[in-house]
Amino acid sequence: MKKPLITAVATAAAAAAALLLGNADFGAAPDRLDRRRYRKRCHHHNGRRFIYPDRWAEKGLPEDVRISEKGTSPKERLPVYTPDFTPCGDDEVRVTWFGHSTVLIQMHGMNILSDPMFSERSSPSQLIGPKRFTHPSAGIRDLPHIDIVLLSHDHYDHLDRRTVQQLAGKTDRFIVSLGVEKHLVRWRIPAEKITPLAWWESVSINGLEICCTPSRHFSGRGLVRQNQTQWCSWVLRDRSCSIFNSCDGSFGGHFRAIHRRFGDFGLAIMECGQYNRNWHYSHLYPEEAVTAAEIIGAGKVMPVHWGAFVLSDHGWDDCPERFVREAEKRGMCVVTPHICETFSLETAPVYDCWWRKYK
């Protein structure tokens, strides 16, 4: 049985078990009134579910050319650094990657945590499902006060109930993709802390603009109710810097639309892992991620969505290796921090391909 099928079967089994047990991890579905509201707020909701606009649909690369011969998870323990959470000034930007898609952005004097996932398994059950092969050196208790948590969509590797509930007491605001607020309310996150946004909607917080931008992906936490909540990417910008976070999603015309609206970016955090042919229109191949970063005019790029979970069947280092090779061909500046390593955007180190030292 191939790895994606094994993963899918394990996740389905976990979902079935959680359903039988009435597990709250499934969250809550939008009701009829919610769907009416969503339809009024966004053109990509057809009255029943969210869709990706046909005008942006592109085929992307014709094939997935893999270069790694390593296993889906490392045989050796990968290095995990100690993060630096020292507060930064208004004009300083620092970034800490915790593995997979969990990123802390310290910007505009605020701490912004994107798609936090600190649980052991990416699953509705902590007894079964994809398990971590790396663990952050800092847990939720070690994090500084969080001004904003960004939640791009409701898949388990990006929206984890345990993590969200543990963060609630030390987080001022949750800014979420439209529909995700239903899950948070069920998990007893105070509604006044939650700001749901549709594509192209934005919120300004003390001079920092956060805009919900398009992505080509899908959503759903169970065997049914697919695409009833929105998925998105994020743009963060103030007077001195702009950052783009692609979150999850494949190639399409939305990258050009984002660049037309916002111009170039100082940093692009690009999803480039957990791909296969069956998921080509849900995830970016690494070379496509580099192309997308070039389209949006990224000064520096950082590959994420790897280094923690096995969700597909490629070598665990296939994604960063291909990403770096393609970016090097195009003369792009790539930042590849170790897990939990904090770097300053102004003095970000060039890549050193540290993963090559490990089997």
For 73-124, write each residue's pLDDT tens digit: 999 999 999 999 999 888 899 999 999 999 999 999 999 999 999 999 999 9
β pairing state of 333-334 and 298-304: parallel
pTM to 2 decimal places: 0.93
For 216-246, write each residue's pLDDT tens digit: 999 999 877 899 999 999 999 999 999 999 9
For 143-200, write each residue's pLDDT tens digit: 999 999 999 999 999 999 999 999 999 999 999 999 999 999 999 999 999 999 999 9
For 8-31, write each residue's pLDDT tens digit: 555 555 555 545 445 889 999 999
CA distance 217 to 271: 12
Say which CATH topology domain 3-59+72-346 has.
Metallo-beta-lactamase; Chain A (3.60.15)
CA distance 296 to 285: 17
For 297-341, write each residue's pLDDT tens digit: 999 999 999 999 999 999 999 999 999 999 999 999 999 999 999
Q: How far is CA 195 from CA 210, 212, 231, in A?
A: 11, 11, 15
HSE-up (13 A, CA, CB side) for residue 139: 6
| Contact assessment for residue 83 and residue 341, using Cβ atoms and an 8 Å cutoff | yes
